[in-house]
């Protein structure tokens, strides 16, 4: 395969190594009040009119997440649940699910091209060993394009350490879990290099749900004598998993036999690679930078969720060649800053799909044979999107930001089979369609306008931290995905689907992120037009552009130390997600209803205790809350929500050896990662992990 050959070539060049945690030991300055996701360089959060959260590397290292949800669910307005292995279904200011509404970055570079969205994209980065994770809630800035409607998740790799550093972590846990994390960092002359590896295996707690991951990343930093910097990062990995861990069960099996798996032969196999090199040169009162990148991804998938109505297996792959261009100029009047640039991307890809003839014994799918080829097409995604962002302060405490992005992007599509209607071999649902070869292009403007205003002075040495208010308007969009446009299925014409447009207004009040007390309160409202909605009802999905949805709510976060030994944090969200208008192709109106999988209440609370009388000891407890939500768009079935309690502990035996443990779902609560109604009256549930425990050993030199 192309990835395997390319990986062997890179091994021969000596390029395969990776990043690691231990953020406190990096040469990178720790700037808790700054974020980089808004403008692609560090900027004070107080000057940025967006709701953004940064989780630093120290917190990630203390949590040692087995799944990204253990970190990201701390962020208000964010819901992440585990599907299988490291798979995720995510909701950021949106109902949680698999829709392409979030943009996933690593060091500000998208980990997947527009049009090839995969909701499991978090597994394309190595969050357990990241230097930090930043989350923008709501649409991205003018520097981000399609897909950044719900939010932006930016995984930041850790910088090389100032001195030689080696760390090995071994971990074992419930249901055959085992993980090894390996870090090596050193300096070679003027170069700082960091290498990390992640080898993970799980036997799966449900039947036929094993999972394994092998990944590696390299980061090399260099600063030249003239101040020019270069940061090169190579990320690669392989994931194989049986995908039944999120397959639905009947209510009886969910309650009494949650380890059952109706789809034992479903699988996912992913090979992925991304290479990016960020070059930046200082100018007089400015900076110029370019980040060329390369991506390659192949995914083989037999989806468990389609076996009941459209059983297939498919392979989707792409390669990407692109660059991010950026120029910043600072001006003395009003402390003005102008950022301009462009995003370029060319991503040729392909999609191959085979029909499966499945066999079923009772409720269990017992086997299959491969039938006809349904789809065979090639696509090339192309983008050339310039942008401009200006920041200025006409008065001392006021910072105004305005941005505009022109998105020019689209697809070249080549069908390799006969176009038109064909028999899909599904009985009464056998009429499928293939569009003829064509090109499909989109042009969209994305404006934004925001402001921040400082309302308290910063007084050195006092516990009252500076606070500010912010407000902004952002317009975002997403174009239809490759498979929405060209894998028509029973739809007669999806090639003409239009982009979704989202308009968001938000405002908030917050203080500085540093200091003994941190707090934030935010309100938002998002209106989505031309929403691409899917009607299923256990038949072939029908895609339409006739949806209009409204999303609004409030978010809060609070962190403080009541005494020296204790650190307390709490975050939460109250949100409403409903259809303003949606009439299905069957004439059923859901207008005014609440969207399914959209809990109004979600939250997290945690307490860390580091007793001064026991140096090296950390004990922590946390609880995660998901409120009730509707299981169908008719709002006739309800999932009652759940609350999970987790405990953590670690102890440093000496400066080189540390032991730790994680106890998850200690109350052994029965809960669902997702739930839905099949047809019109049959509730189904995907059970979440029961009580599970982990223990690990960390050795550092």
CB 181 within 8 A of CB 698: no
CB 543 within 8 A of CB 578: no
What's the mean pLDDT when you consider all of the chain? 89
Q: Report the C-alpha gap between 358 and 353 in whole angstroms.
A: 15
Range in 21-30, 96-105, 396-405, 550-559 with the lowest mean pLDDT: 21-30
Q: What is the pLDDT of residue 47?
A: 82
Closest CA to 114 of 386, 414, 478: 478
Say yes or no to pLDDT of 368 above 90.
Answer: yes
| Residues in contact with 479: Cβ distance below 8 Å, sequence separation at least 6, in sequence order | 114, 115, 146, 409, 410, 442, 444, 499
Say yes or no to pLDDT of 255 above 70.
Answer: yes
Residue 70 DSSP one-character state:
H
Q: What is the DSSP string of 513-533?
A: SSSSEEEEEEEEEEEEEEEEE
Domain contains 5: no
3-state secondary structure of 332: coil
Q: Give one word for 416, left, alpha or beta, with left for phi > 0 and alpha for psi -120 to 50.
A: alpha
Say yes or no to pLDDT of 80 above 50.
Answer: yes
Say yes or no to pLDDT of 12 above 50.
Answer: no
Q: Report the C-alpha gap between 84 and 243 in whole angstroms.
A: 6
Alpha-carbon distances of 302 from 116, 269, 305, 370, 462, rounded to whole Å: 17, 9, 9, 11, 59
Domain contains 580: yes
Q: What is the pLDDT of residues 15-74, one digit of tens each?
A: 222 222 333 333 333 334 678 877 888 888 878 899 999 999 999 999 999 999 999 999
Quote the pTM value: 0.92
Interval 355-367 mean pLDDT: 94
Sheet strand arrangement including 132-137: 51-56, 132-137, 151-156, 102-106, 109-110
- What is the percent of the chain with per-residue pLDDT over 90, rounded to a whole number? 75
CB 424 within 8 A of CB 374: yes
Q: Report the C-alpha gap between 302 and 559 in whole angstroms.
A: 43
Q: Report the C-alpha gap between 51 and 502 in whole angstroms.
A: 17
Closest CA to 221 of 175, 169, 266, 278: 278
Number of domains in the chain: 1
Total residue count of the chain as it appears in this document: 701
Q: What is the pLDDT of residue 536?
A: 60
Q: Report the C-alpha gap between 502 and 228 in whole angstroms.
A: 38
Q: Report the C-alpha gap between 206 and 100 in whole angstroms.
A: 28
Domain contains 1: no
Q: What are phi and psi of 10, to 5 degrees?
A: -70, -35
Enter the tokens of residue 643: 């609350």
| Residues in contact with 316: Cβ distance below 8 Å, sequence separation at least 6, in sequence order | 116, 298, 299, 301, 349, 350, 351, 352, 482, 483
Q: Give one word for 600, left, alpha or beta, with left for phi > 0 and alpha for psi -120 to 50.
A: alpha
Q: Report the C-alpha gap between 307 and 612 in whole angstroms.
A: 56
- DSSP alpha helix (H) spans, 301-420: none
CA angle 85, 90, 96 (to 5 degrees): 125
Domain contains 48: yes
CB 598 within 8 A of CB 577: yes
Q: Report the C-alpha gap between 123 and 480 in whole angstroms.
A: 23
Confidence of residue 374 (pLDDT cuts 50, 70, 90): very high
Domain contains 359: yes
Q: What is the pLDDT of residue 465?
A: 55
Any bridge partners for residue 471, and if so which? Answer: 451, 507
Enter the tokens of residue 355: 């029909």
Closest CA to 619 of 628, 610, 627: 610
Closest CA to 74 of 700, 623, 446, 673: 623
Interval 198-220 mean pLDDT: 95
Enter the tokens of residue 390: 């200006």
Q: Report the C-alpha gap between 267 and 283 in whole angstroms.
A: 51
Domain contains 471: yes
Q: Report the C-alpha gap between 232 and 254 in whole angstroms.
A: 47
Confidence of residue 4 (pLDDT cuts 50, 70, 90): very low
Q: What is the pLDDT of residues 526-538, one digit of tens each?
A: 999 988 887 665 4
Residue 219: CATH number of its domain: 2.40.170.20
Enter the tokens of residue 377: 């097409």
CB 694 within 8 A of CB 659: no
Q: What is the pLDDT of residue 41?
A: 82
Say yes or no to pLDDT of 641 above 90.
Answer: yes
- What is the percent of the chain with per-residue pLDDT over 70, rounded to a whole number? 92
Q: Report the C-alpha gap between 669 and 674 in whole angstroms.
A: 15
3-state secondary structure of 85: coil
Would the CA dihedral through 409, 2, 182, 204 be positive or negative? positive
Element of type H or E holding 60: helix 57-63
Alpha-carbon distances of 476 from 53, 105, 145, 264, 545, rounded to whole Å: 20, 17, 7, 40, 16
Interval 75-93 mean pLDDT: 91
Any bridge partners for residue 182, and if so which? Answer: 168, 197
Q: What is the pLDDT of residue 385?
A: 95
Say yes or no to pLDDT of 75 above 50.
Answer: yes
Enter the tokens of residue 549: 């949805």
How many CB atoms lie under 10 A from the CB of residue 348? 16
Q: Report the C-alpha gap between 371 and 690 in whole angstroms.
A: 38
| Residue-range definition of the domain harbouring residue 580 | 16-266+274-375+385-700
Closest CA to 77 of 517, 604, 630: 604
Q: What is the pLDDT of residues 140-173, one digit of tens each?
A: 888 887 888 999 999 999 999 989 999 999 999 9
Exposure letters 608-623 (e unless 16+ CB within 10 A, then b): bbbeeeeeeebebbbe
Q: What is the pLDDT of residues 484-514, one digit of tens each?
A: 999 998 888 899 999 999 999 999 999 876 6
Residue 32 DSSP one-character state:
T
Exposure letters 258-286 (e unless 16+ CB within 10 A, then b): bebbbbbbbbbebbbbbbbbbebeeeeee
Q: What are phi and psi of 666, to 5 degrees?
A: -65, -20
Domain contains 9: no
CB 408 within 8 A of CB 445: no
Closest CA to 201 of 227, 176, 226, 218: 176
Higher pLDDT: 466 or 129? It is: 129
List strand residue ranges (DSSP E) for 243-335, in order: 249-250, 267-283, 286-302, 312-331
Any bridge partners for residue 433, and if so which? Answer: 421, 489
Element of type H or E holding 592: none
Say yes or no to pLDDT of 7 above 70.
Answer: no
Domain contains 6: no
Q: Report the C-alpha gap between 546 and 566 in whole angstroms.
A: 51
Say yes or no to pLDDT of 257 above 80.
Answer: yes
Enter the tokens of residue 67: 């799944």
Q: What is the pLDDT of residues 596-636, one digit of tens each?
A: 999 999 999 999 999 999 999 999 999 999 999 999 999 99
The pairing of beta strand 177-188 with beta strand 132-137: unpaired
């Amino acid at each position: 395969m192309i990835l395997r050959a390319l990986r062997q070539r890179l091994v021969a060049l000596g390029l395969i190594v990776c990043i690691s945690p231990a953020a406190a030991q990096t040469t990178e300055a720790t700037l808790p009040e700054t974020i980089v996701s808004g403008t692609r360089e560090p900027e004070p959060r107080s000057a940025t009119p967006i709701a953004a959260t940064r989780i630093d590397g120290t917190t990630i290292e203390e949590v040692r997440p087995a799944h990204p949800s253990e970190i990201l669910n701390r962020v208000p307005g964010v819901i992440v649940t585990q599907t299988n292995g490291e798979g995720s279904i995510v909701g950021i200011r949106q109902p949680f699910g698999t829709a392409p509404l979030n943009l996933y970055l690593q060091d500000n570079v998208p980990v997947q091209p527009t049009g090839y969205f995969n909701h499991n994209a978090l597994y394309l980065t190595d969050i357990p060993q990241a230097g930090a994770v930043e989350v923008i809630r709501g649409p991205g800035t003018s520097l981000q394009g399609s897909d950044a409607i719900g939010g932006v998740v930016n995984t930041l790799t850790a910088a090389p350490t100032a001195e030689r550093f080696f760390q090995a972590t071994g971990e074992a846990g419930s249901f055959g879990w085992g993980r090894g994390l390996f870090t090596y960092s050193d300096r070679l002359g003027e170069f700082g290099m960091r290498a990390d590896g992640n080898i993970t295996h799980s036997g799966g707690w449900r039947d036929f749900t094993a999972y394994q991951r092998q990944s590696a990343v390299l980061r090399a930093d260099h600063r030249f004598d003239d101040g020019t910097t270069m940061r090169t990062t190579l990320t690669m990995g392989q994931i194989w998993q049986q995908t039944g861990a999120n397959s639905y069960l009947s209510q009886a099996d969910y309650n009494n036999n949650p380890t059952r798996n109706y789809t034992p032969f479903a699988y996912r196999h992913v090979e992925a690679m991304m290479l990016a090199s960020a070059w930046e040169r200082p100018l007089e009162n400015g900076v110029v930078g370019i980040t060329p990148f390369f991506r390659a991804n192949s995914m083989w998938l037999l989806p468990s969720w389609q076996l009941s109505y459209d059983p297939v297996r498919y392979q989707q792959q792409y390669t990407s060649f692109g660059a991010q261009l950026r120029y910043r100029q600072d001006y003395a009047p009003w402390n003005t800053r102008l950022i301009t640039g462009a995003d370029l991307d060319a991503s040729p890809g392909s999609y191959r799909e085979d029909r499966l003839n499945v066999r079923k014994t009772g409720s269990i799918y017992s086997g299959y044979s491969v039938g006809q080829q349904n789809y065979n097409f090639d696509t090339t995604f192309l983008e050339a999107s310039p942008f401009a962002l200006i920041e200025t302060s006409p008065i001392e405490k006021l910072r105004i930001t305005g941005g505009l992005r022109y998105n020019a992007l689209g697809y070249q599509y080549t069908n390799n089979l006969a176009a038109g209607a064909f028999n899909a071999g599904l009985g009464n649902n056998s009429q499928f369609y293939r569009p003829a070869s064509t090109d499909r292009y989109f042009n969209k403007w994305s404006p934004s306008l925001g402001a921040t205003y400082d309302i308290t002075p910063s007084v050195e040495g006092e516990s009252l931290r500076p606070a500010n208010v912010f407000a902004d308007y952002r317009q975002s969009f997403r174009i239809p995905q490759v498979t929405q446009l060209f894998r028509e299925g029973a739809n007669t014409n999806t090639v003409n689907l239009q982009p979704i447009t989202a308009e968001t207004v938000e405002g908030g009040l917050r203080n500085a992120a540093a200091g003994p007390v941190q707090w934030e309160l935010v309100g938002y409202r998002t209106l989505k037009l031309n929403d691409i909605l899917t009607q299923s009802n256990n038949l072939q999905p029908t895609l339409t552009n006739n949806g209009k949805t409204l999303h609004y709510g409030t978010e809060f976060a609070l962190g403080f130390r009541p005494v020296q030994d204790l650190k307390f944090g709490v975050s939460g969200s109250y949100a409403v997600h409903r259809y303003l208008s949606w009439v299905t192709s069957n004439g059923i109106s859901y207008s005014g209803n609440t969207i399914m999988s959209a809990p109004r209440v979600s939250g997290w609370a945690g307490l860390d205790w580091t007793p001064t009388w026991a140096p090296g000891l950390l004990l922590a407890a946390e609880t995660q809350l998901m409120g009730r939500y509707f299981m169908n768009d008719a709002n006739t079935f309800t999932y009652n929500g759940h609350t999970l309690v987790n405990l953590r502990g670690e102890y440093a035996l000496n400066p080189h050896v540390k032991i730790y443990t994680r106890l998850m779902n200690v109350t052994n609560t029965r809960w669902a990662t997702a739930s839905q109604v099949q047809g019109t009256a049959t509730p189904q549930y995907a059970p979440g992990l029961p009580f599970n425990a982990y223990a690990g050993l960390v050795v550092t030199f």
